[in-house]
Amino acid sequence: MDKTAKIFVAGHRGLVGSSILRKLHNLKYERIITRSRSELDLGNQQAVLEFFMDERPDYVFLAAAKVGGIHANHTYPAQFIYENLTIQANVIHSAYLSKVTKLLFLGSSCIYPKYAPQPMKEECLLTGELEPTNESYAIAKISGIKMCEAYNRQYQTQFISVMPTNLYGIHDNFDLETSHVLPALLRKFHEAKLNNQPFVSVWGSGKPKREFLYVDDLADACVFLMQRDVSGEQSILNIGVGQDLSILELALLIKKIVGYEGEVRFDPEKPDGTPRKLLDVSRMEKLGWKAKVTLEEGLKQTYEWYVNQGIAGYEL
């Protein structure tokens, strides 16, 4: 992927897409193509095809998706499966028709079975039942992975899929109705601190274990893969840190970083989700890539960004 290549970042305003965009700019890539949702509806098949035929990008980062936490996935399953299937099908097929050199599809660690052996290897895909709370989203992402594999096999394309673990970072979604667990907890603890609340209520038992990857590390991994020849079974790759912690441990770490001094209470009436989600990252390590940002360092950067955006009600 030389510096003269035309690169399309789909979903450039989201958590992942904006980080990939920053990474490309830092590396002095100048022919970067972006389109806002108002400029290009990725759910519109004809519009997407016309865009690809007009622009003829050489490389595509497919980071556009409808995403959310347990509550959002459980409440809007039809939207999650329809919007993600449509976006993926339109972009991947148009990339093939316009002869894109290489496409990177952003999957998710939720594609793996609920009770997959830990840490989860890429080979675990489709070996068991999914976690019910995010089944629609997971099925859409699995379809995207299999679509990339099918096009590679039939048309000899270079479409690769990456499975990031739970992501967080600047430009995250902090809406308590639709966000993932980490940004939701950051906001809850911060608002409890501002309002002198005696306790913070956290969903579930606190026992499930999760792995968290700072989004700029994911962007670094995605560009790393675009710059290398990855073929065969390595067209699917896990991206994570290889370490996890319980939701209780995460809550206590966020409590410390925010500076909240009240109590943490867990609500066992709320769903826990998958008991554990730890990725096997040996494929990426063999290729020469490892995550660099520690969880505590990443949380501090994310919290500082959140506060400085004015979202949180005051500035540091």
286 is in an annotated binding site: no
Residue 15 annotated as part of some ligand binding site: yes
Q: Is 298 annotated as a binding-site member? A: no
Q: Is 262 annotated as a binding residue?
A: no
Does the annotation list 165 as a binding residue?
Answer: yes
Q: How far apart are CA 11 and CA 5, in angstroms?
A: 19
Is 13 annotated among the ligand-binding residues?
yes
Please tell me whether 11 is known to bind a ligand.
Answer: yes
Residue 283 assigned to a binding site = no
For 42, 78, 135, 139, 291, the CA distances from 85, given in Å and listed in that order, are: 11, 11, 13, 9, 29
Please tell me which residue in 59, 96, 137, 151 is annotated as part of the active site: 137
119 is in an annotated binding site: no
- The verdict on whether residue 106 carries a ligand-binding annotation is yes
In sequence order, what are the residues at sequence separation of 6 or more whose Cβ sits closer than 8 angstroms to the Cβ of residue 63?
9, 10, 11, 12, 14, 16, 17, 20, 106
CA dist., res. 288 & res. 304, Å (int): 31
Orientation angle between helical segments 135-155 and 77-97, nearest 10 degrees: 10
| Total residues belonging to the chain | 316
Q: Report how far residue 217's alpha carbon sits from residue 221's, in angstroms, rounded to the nearest whole number.
A: 6
Residue 300 CB neighbours (<10 A)? 12
Place of tokens 């096009």: 151
Residue 171 marked ligand-binding: no
12 annotated binding-site participant: yes
Q: Is 69 annotated as a binding residue?
A: no
The three-class DSSP label of residue 165 is: coil
Is residue 306 annotated as a catalytic residue, yes or no?
Answer: no
Pairing of strands 59-62, 102-106: parallel
Between CA 223 and CA 303 the distance in angstroms is: 25
Q: Is 90 annotated as a binding residue?
A: no
| Catalytic center residues | 137
Bind-site residues for substrate? 188, 203, 210, 272
- Binding positions: 11-17, 106-109, 141, 164-167, 180, 188, 203, 210, 272
Annotated binding site for NADP(+): which residue ranges? 11-17, 106-109, 141, 164-167, 180
